[in-house]
Amino acid sequence: MTRLTVITLLFLFVACKQQPINIWLAGDSTMAWKKPSRSPESGWGEGLKLYVNENTMVHNHAASGRSSKSFIDEGRWQNMVDSLKKGDYVIIQFGHNDEKTKEKLHTTPYGTFKENLKKFIEESKQKGANPIVCSSIVRRQFNPDGTLKDTHGDYITAAEEIAKETKILYVDMEYLTHELVTEMGPDKSKEIYNYTSRKQDSTHLNVKGAVRVAELFVKEIKARHLPLSAYLNNK
């Protein structure tokens, strides 16, 4: 190997180290950034920012009250996909609002919901990005016997199905958060939701919860030894 070749390789190595990896988030309020006026409410996409290394940037485009349908209709997805670059990661999590009956939000699990997720996946791939589909995080709604209610139904199964059909990564955040909240129980689990003296909110996370749920995602990625692990740190 010549001296020039060694110098060239070192230059390329340094350039690659300096090139940031982008993680783009498309989702709803359970993932989104929140205005200070909504404190202590937060989304786990904000918590994820604490777990990335110095060469990784998290772009949180998740927005409150959006479904996979309205995220597309409002041009939010197009704005995001226009910015994607080869090697980026795109984390997609919808379902909370897709199940609502409002026309501007509603999708059918095995129909328009899967179609929208497929659009996100295919258009991410076309830009050379790596899409990841996540199921919705669990709502803190307990049955009298201490078990958690199933509030997402077929949207969870549909998300997993489209990930398998398109052969992309699927992270079952519903399962991971279900395990966490069940273990914590009805009272202690209030500590990670937006549950205060002025608001009893069992859907949205607080800052502590956003970090805890992001940690679940990071641990799952690392446990499966996935390429994204290289850009994630322990907090």
11 within domain boundaries: no
Range of the domain at 206: 21-231
Question: Does 34 map to a domain?
Answer: yes
Q: Does 52 reside within a domain?
A: yes
Does the pLDDT at position 9 exceed 80? no
Q: What is the reported pTM? A: 0.90
Confirm if 57 and 23 have CB atoms less than 8 A apart.
Answer: yes
Backbone angles phi, psi at 65, to 5 degrees: 75, 10
pLDDT in tens, 209-231: 999 999 999 999 999 999 999 99
Q: Can the peptide bond before residue 40 be classed as cis, meaning omega within 30 degrees of 0?
A: yes
> Is it the case that residue 68 has pLDDT exceeding 50?
yes
Q: Is residue 7 part of a domain?
A: no
Structural tokens at position 140: 């803190």
Taking a C-beta distance cutoff of 8 angstroms, is the pair 57, 21 a contact?
yes
Question: Would residue 4 count as lying in a domain?
Answer: no
The answer to whether residue 67 is domain-embedded is yes
Residue 28 belongs to domain with CATH number: 3.40.50.1110
Q: What is the DSSP string of 5-42?
A: HHHHHHHHHHHHHHSPEEEEEEE-TTTS---GGGTTEE
Let me know: does 105 contact 69? Beta carbons within 8 Å: yes
Give dist(CA 117, CA 162) in Å, integer. 7
Give the CB-side neighbour count of residue 17, counting CA atoms within 13 A: 6
The whole-number average pLDDT for the span 198-210 is 94
Instruction: Name which residue leads in pLDDT, 99 or 20.
Output: 99
Q: Chain-wide mean pLDDT for the chain?
A: 92
Cβ neighbours of residue 141 under 8 Å, at least 6 residues apart?
A: 148, 149, 151, 202
Q: What is the pLDDT of residue 20?
A: 79
- Tokens 């939010």 found at: 76
pLDDT tens, position by position, 39-53: 999 999 999 999 999
Residue 122 counted as domain residue: yes
Residue with tokens 């795109």: 90
Residue 9 belongs to some domain of the structure:
no
- Domains contained in the chain, number: 1
Residue 160's closest CA among 197, 178, 135, 183? Answer: 135
